[in-house]
């Protein structure tokens, strides 16, 4: 009877090992996805980040990259701990899962806070940056970000194209008679901004603020969905880890 129980426990342990190994492989892949989302946010959308005064959106991306890196390391560690059947490694693995879980909660809280304050921040800062910093010698990155924003989202001005009438650059001789930047034009060309007729430039209700806000909110939803997905996978992993740890503890040395 004792031999049967021992064999039964061993089979159970083997099943847990392979379940945990499969989980760790999927977890490792998920870590790569999390890192990719974070890197994509910083690299592909870094221009838009420069238009925001708050660093919360950028911080959320860095937290995703950090969490993804830890997830990938944890996945490898989990595989080693599973096949070597070392309880010490399993404890380290469990602690790392817990740390990742806390990082995800932090990223989620930051994303939620930023979600609440985003509209007000854009209203206060986007128009000011467009009017005061566009085409200024010390703010080339703002100029590039605004041009990219207006072309990609097919918009003109913060709230409307009339915002550009108050621009420092538009009022200066450097604008050469332009009424809006050339990036407002539906078909951009040099000096096309001299004509601000709706047939020539983008006139979108709500201006670029509405477009940028929608984009950032959609991206925050992606960050939130990724975080929730990884958190659910982690809970499963922690359960498997506890079960395997108890199983190994019950076995004789």
Distance of CA 201 to the CA centre of its chain: 32
pLDDT in tens, 215-228: 877 877 777 777 77
Q: Structural domain boundaries of the chain?
A: 11-106+234-247, 107-233
**Residue 223: which of 128, 110, 71 has the closest Cα?**
110
**Residue 111: which of 68, 58, 47, 67 has the closest Cα?**
58
Residue 45 has pLDDT above 70, yes or no: no
Query: What per-residue string of b and e applies to 129-160 under the rule 16 or more CB within 10 Å gives b?
Result: bbbebbbeeebeebbebbbebbbebebbbbbb
Residue 7 has pLDDT above 80, yes or no: no
Measured in degrees and rounded to the nearest 5, phi and psi for residue 201 equal: -120, 165
pLDDT at 156: 92
pLDDT at 231: 74
Residue 74 has pLDDT above 70, yes or no: yes
**Residue 71: which of 233, 251, 201, 202 has the closest Cα?**
233
State the fold for domain 107-233. Answer: Cd81 Antigen, Extracellular Domain; Chain: A (1.10.1450)
pLDDT at 164: 93
Segment (H or E) for 112: helix 87-133
State the pLDDT confidence band at 12, using cuts at 50, 70 and 90: low
Residue 4 has pLDDT above 60, yes or no: no
Distance of CA 252 to the CA centre of its chain: 47
Q: What is the pTM for the complete model shown?
A: 0.69
Q: Hunting for tokens 């830890």 — which residue is that? A: 70
Distance of alpha carbon 130 from alpha carbon 222, whole angstroms? 28
> Are the CB atoms for 9 and 251 separated by under 8 Å?
yes
Bridge partner residues of 185 (DSSP): 201
Beta-carbon contacts of residue 238 (< 8 Å; ≥ 6 apart): 94, 97, 98
């Amino acid at each position: 009877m004792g031999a049967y129980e021992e064999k039964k426990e061993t089979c159970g342990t083997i099943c847990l090992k392979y379940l945990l190994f499969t989980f760790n492989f999927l977890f490792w892949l998920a870590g790569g996805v999390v890192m990719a989302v974070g890197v994509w946010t910083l690299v592909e959308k870094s221009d838009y980040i420069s238009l925001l005064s708050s660093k919360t959106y950028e911080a959320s991306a860095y937290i995703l990259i950090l969490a993804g890196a830890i997830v990938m390391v944890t996945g490898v560690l989990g595989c080693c701990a599973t096949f070597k059947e070392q309880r010490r490694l399993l404890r380290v693995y469990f602690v790392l899962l817990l740390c990742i879980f806390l990082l995800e909660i932090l990223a989620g809280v930051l994303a939620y806070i930023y979600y609440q304050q985003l509209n007000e921040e854009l209203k206060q800062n986007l128009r000011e940056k467009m009017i005061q910093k566009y085409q200024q010698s010390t703010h080339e990155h703002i100029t590039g970000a605004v041009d990219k924003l207006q072309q990609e989202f097919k918009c003109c001005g913060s709230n409307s194209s009339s915002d550009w009438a108050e621009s420092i650059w538009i009022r200066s001789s450097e604008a050469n008679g332009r009424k809006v930047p050339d990036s407002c034009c539906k078909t951009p060309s040099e000096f096309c901004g001299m004509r601000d007729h709706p047939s020539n430039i983008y006139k979108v209700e709500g201006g670029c603020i509405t477009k940028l806000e929608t984009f950032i909110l959609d991206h925050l939803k992606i960050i939130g969905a990724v975080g929730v997905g990884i958190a659910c996978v982690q809970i499963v992993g922690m359960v498997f880890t506890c079960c395997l740890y108890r199983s190994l503890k019950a076995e004789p040395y």
